[in-house]
Amino acid sequence: MPNLQHIKRRIGSVKNTQQITKAMKMVAAAKLKRAQDKILEARPYAQKMLSVLGNLSARVERESHPLLAKRGNKKIEVMIVTSDRGLCGAFNANIIRKSFEFLREKRAEGCEITLNAVGRKGRDFYRRRDFEIRKTLAGIFDRLSYQNASEIGIDIVESYEKGLFDELYVVYNEFKSAMQQRVIIEKLLPIEPSVQTEIGFAADYIFEPSAKVILHSLLPKHIEVQTFRILLESNASEYGARMTAMEAATKNAKELIKKLTLVYNRTRQSMITKELMDIINGSEALK
C-alpha cells in the first residue's frame, strides 16, 4: 500500500512545478506580445527596402557588386538561429534536426562548411559535433535591438567579401502564430534580387550620386535589415513555443495532481476501513 505521507509530498511537489510553469507561461505570453509588435513594426521597412533594392538591381549588372555576384558554392556558411534558453518545447530540437540534415546533405555534396551560431542552444549542440564554428553569439535575445542585427550583418558582409565563404544560409524559425512555427532555410548571400516592376513605373531613374554608390551602401544595409527581421521572427517564435509548451506542462501537472489526489483519498479510505475493522473485530472478541 502506498505511503500516505509520500503521496502528499508528491502532490505538493507537482503543485509547485505547476505554479512555475504557469508563471513561465504568463511571462512568455507577455513577451510574445511585445515581440509580435516589434515584428509588425519592422516589417514595413524590410519590405520597402526589398522593393527599392529590386528596382535598383534590375538596372545594374549583376556582377557589378560582390554581394550580388555568384561565385560557386563550394564554401558555405550556415547561420543557425536558436534560443538561449530551453523549456520551449521542440523549438530548438526542430532547428537542430533540420540544420543537421541540411549540413549533412551539403557535406555529402563536398562543400566546406563553417557555422555561425546565434543563440546558446545551437552553439552548445554543434560544439560537440564535427563542424567548424566560425562565430558564435549568445545572450542577445533578452534585449534585442537593431544594433545586434547590425553587428551580425557587418560581420557576415565583411567575411563574405574576404572570401571566407561563397554562400550564406540561415536556418531559423519563422513566426506564423503563437502555436505555430516553421523552420526555414534561407539563402542570404549572394543576394538574389527579386525583380518586381510596379505598374505605371517609369523605367528611367535618376540616381544620386550614382546607382553604383547607392547599391554599395544599400546592399550591406539590406543584409542588416534581413538579419534583424530573422532575429525578430526567431524571438517571437521562441516565446510562442515556450508559451505553448508551458501551457501543456501546466495542463499535465493538473491531471497528475488529480490522479494523485484520487490515489491519496482511496488509500486514506482503505486505511480508515481497515482500522474500523480492527476495532470492530476487537470489540466482537471481548463479548
Partner 1 sequence: MAADKILLEIVAPNRLIMHEEVEEVVCPGIEGELGILPGHIPLLTTLTIGELRYKKNNLFCSLAIGWGYAEITGSRVVILAELAEKAEEIDLTRAEEAKKRAEEVLAKGPEEADFEKAKESLQKALNRLQIAGKRPPS
Nearer to partner 1, 89 or 193 (CB): 193
* Sheet strand arrangement including 132-137: 132-137, 112-118, 75-81, 167-177, 180-189
Contact letters for partner 1, residues 81-120 (x by CB under 8 A): ----------------------------------------
Indicate whether 55 belongs to the interface with partner 1 (CB under 8 A): yes
Shortest Å, Cβ 204 to partner 1: 7
Active site residue 88: yes
Q: Which letter, b or e, does each residue of 115-131 get, where b requires 16 or more Cβ atoms within 10 Å of its Cβ?
A: bbbbbbbbbebbeeeeb
**Which of the following is catalytic: 14, 32, 81, 88?**
88
Indicate whether 61 belongs to the interface with partner 1 (CB under 8 A): no
CA 40-98-241 angle, to 5 degrees, is: 45
Cell of 224: 542588416
Indicate whether 228 belongs to the interface with partner 1 (CB under 8 A): yes
Binding segment toward partner 1, per CB under 8 A, in 80-88, 135-143, 196-204, 250-258: 196-204
Options 9, 12, 45, 195; binder of partner 1; rule CB under 8 A: 45
Binding segment toward partner 1, per CB under 8 A, in 123-131, 185-193, 217-225, 255-263: 217-225
Interface with partner 1 in residues 161-180 (CB under 8 A): none
What residues contact residue 26 under an 8 Å CB cut-off, 6+ apart? none
Bridge partners (DSSP) listed for residue 75: 112
d(CA 182, CA 165): 26
Query: Phi/psi class of residue 110: alpha, beta or left (left: φ > 0; alpha: ψ in -120 to 50)?
Result: left
Residues in the chain: 287
190 preceded by a cis bond (ω within 30 of 0): yes
Active site residues: 88
Give residues in contact with partner 1 (CB under 8 A): 38, 41-42, 44-45, 48-49, 52, 55-56, 146, 201-202, 204-209, 211, 213-214, 217-218, 225, 228
